Amino acid sequence: MLSIQNLHVSIADKAIINGLSLAVPAGEVHAVMGPNGAGKSTLSYTLAGRAGYEVTEGSATLDGEDLLALSPDARAARGVFLSFQYPLEIPGVPALTFMRTAMNAQRKARGEDEISAPDFLKRVRAAAANLRMDMEMLKRGLNVGFSGGEKKRMEILQMAMLEPRLLILDETDSGLDIDALRIVSEGVNAMRAPDRAMLVITHYQRLLDYIKPDRVHVLAKGRIVASGGPELALELEREGYDKYAAAA
Amino acid sequence: MSGLAAAIAARDPDLLPSRRDEDWRWTGLRELIRFVPEPSPVGETLSAGPWAGVHSDELLVVNGRPLNFPGLIQIGPGDRPTAQLRFISTADAGSHAPHIRIVVREGADFTLLESYEGAPGGAYVASAELEIDLAEGSSLTRLILADEPDDAVSVSRADIALGAKARLQQTVLATGARRQRFETHIAHPGQGANVRLDGAYVLAAKLHSDQTTVVTHAGEGGVTNQLTKGVATDQARGVFQGRIVVKPGADGTDARMGHHALLLSDRAEVDAKPELEIYADDVQCAHGNTVGALSDEAIFYARSRGITEPEARVMLTAAFLGEVVERIEHEPAREIARAWVEAKLGALGR
């Protein structure tokens, strides 16, 4: 599914990712953990195609297709979804309008028909109910006046609607209380599927109690410095990142 | 009579307002027009106007001549009519300066759907003057769509006097011309009278649009709420001049003015001059003015969800201007205004 090889990324000529390699097969959930400044958000933004993240070397492919050559919207149409650490507020664009515009743009890019208004509403209602979200909230400007937890739920709602193949969760647990963390995690877990891959990027092990990874990778100074099973996350929680930061 | 109307009447360019006049510094006409064109000939109406979708009477002013009414609109006490007032210019290079008088009697509620329309390629010089009286407790909703040819010079000036407890709600939506200006002068008596004075402009190419307002609060307890927003791309130029005067004794006035613009290209320009002149005590007055660009972060966020960049730009600019459109209370007119703005935004950069 996702294959990253020897990736080097600079922002304003400062090297942030330095030779990162990672493969996430379909059906698996991989966690990337690392201290602040390790390059976690740079990795997620690079995969999503944000401007200013310059790939100086290496590759990233989704099912063999070069992701880095595609525009952010073309990546989305091929199934890449980044759940933002800090989702944006978009005044004047109701969440429902935003989601429907996004769905139809992706469908158009794939040569599919637009979703009908009744089908769209039916699906939103079901997805919002699963995330305990009020439909009235979705009629207001996207994320405007939402709490941190509501914004993260809104991200997961969009993910559920867009049905991506590669899910990248950037610090999805930040700003969540325990109840919100549980609801968001249930939403993510409901999307686990044999034809989907997930990259869960997090500083803390806490999220991984709810979203169980198949593999855990340690990111330090822009490279993967250790990989292992779920037990690696527990070890990091106990012993911290010092050992890996020093080794990197 | 304004300088432009006088210049047209006398065919004397020296009477045109100049950019040396402080109130015309960004929309000077004397520097632009060397000869005032001949009076426009009698013309015929264009096909349906932009407000045709709203059930209403149609009042036509073609090439400066009222065609199917005497140039005077009187709304009787308690009446609640809706009318389209279409200023149509079909002259290729003529000049005309109509004067329309509107009287809204006590307790009446008048919805005036105004439009400024020109035949494509028209290079006319037009001045429209409206003199509007709103009697005590009456209400006027004045909504304007202005879609004029690129080579036109068009100035519309309204002088509106409100009675006690009168209500005025105005929204000007404009796409500019060679020079285009909407000027609104309001005599605000306080005494529970309430004014909403809004505008929006969507400008491309080298088009110019000016929205100038002067609100004079002369009595106690008046409310004015003003919001103008605009988008300019290419080498277009937007002008906003808003002056609110609170005279001595106009205590308890509540006046708010906002102007916010998005520049979508490096060569577009927006000039803004908000002014508050306050000579009374115990007033609440505020103004805000911003000029900026679309947020790259918001564009990236939308693109990361699959929305293409052009579509994201239209969506975000429409949302930006949407705040002005949302303030239109008349629902069928609001829907027409919304579609109109979205169509104009969709056409930008094409």
Amino acid at B107: G
Say whether B303 and A90 touch across the interface (CB within 8 A): no
Option in B306, B316, B319 nearest A76 (CB)? B306
- The token duo for A7 is 């990736």
Say whether A88 and B301 touch across the interface (CB within 8 A): yes
pLDDT above 90 covers a percentage of chain A that reads: 81
Residue of B nearest to A48 (CA): B304
Of B30, B2, B10, B26, nearest to B18 by C-alpha is: B30
Whether the Cβ atoms of residue B165 and residue B134 lie closer than 8 Å to each other: no
- The token duo for A38 is 């390790």
Cβ contacts of A72 on chain B, cutoff 8 Å = 300, 303-304
Whether the Cβ atoms of residue B242 and residue B228 lie closer than 8 Å to each other: yes
Preferred mutation among A93, A163, A170 to probe B, highest tally of B CBs within 10 A: A93
Whether the Cβ atoms of residue A20 and residue A222 lie closer than 8 Å to each other: yes
CA atoms within a 13 Å half-sphere pointing along the CA-CB vector of B59: 20
pLDDT for res B217? 98
Residue of A nearest to B298 (CA): A88
pLDDT above 70 covers a percentage of chain A that reads: 99
For B21, other C-beta atoms within 10 Å of its C-beta total: 14
User: Is the entire prediction scored with pTM above 0.90?
Assistant: no
User: Using 50, 70 and 90 to split pLDDT, how confident is the model at A247?
Assistant: low
- Residue A50 in contact with partner chain B when CB distance is under 8 A: yes
Whether the Cβ atoms of residue B178 and residue B153 lie closer than 8 Å to each other: yes
Say whether B318 and A92 touch across the interface (CB within 8 A): yes
pLDDT for res B312? 94
pLDDT for res A204? 85
pLDDT for res A248? 60
Residue in the structure block whose two tokens are 């509106």: B160
Option in B297, B307, B322 nearest A92 (CB)? B322
Residue of A nearest to B296 (CA): A51
CA distance B74 to chain A (A): 38
Residue A90 β-bridge partners: A142
pLDDT for res A226? 92
Is the confidence at residue A190, as pLDDT, over 70?
yes
Is the confidence at residue A117, as pLDDT, over 90?
yes
**Strand B284-292 relative to strand B208-217, pairing:** unpaired
Cβ contacts of A77 on chain B, cutoff 8 Å = 306
Residue of B nearest to A98 (CA): B302
Option in A50, A73, A90 nearest B306 (CB)? A73
What is the spatial distance between Cα B348 and Cα B54, in angstroms, rounded to a whole number? 26
Say whether A84 and B303 touch across the interface (CB within 8 A): no
Say whether A90 and B311 touch across the interface (CB within 8 A): no
CA atoms within a 13 Å half-sphere pointing along the CA-CB vector of A163: 9
Lowest mean pLDDT, pick from A77-81, A183-187, B251-255: A183-187
Whole-complex ipTM: 0.95
Whether the Cβ atoms of residue A210 and residue A183 lie closer than 8 Å to each other: no
* Residue ranges in chain B modelled with pLDDT below 70: 349-350
- Residue A38 in contact with partner chain B when CB distance is under 8 A: no
- Provide CB contacts within 8 A for B53, sequence distance 6+: B332, B336
CA distance B232 to chain A (A): 19
What is the spatial distance between Cα B346 and Cα B202, in angstroms, rounded to a whole number? 10
pLDDT for res B350? 53
pLDDT for res B24? 97
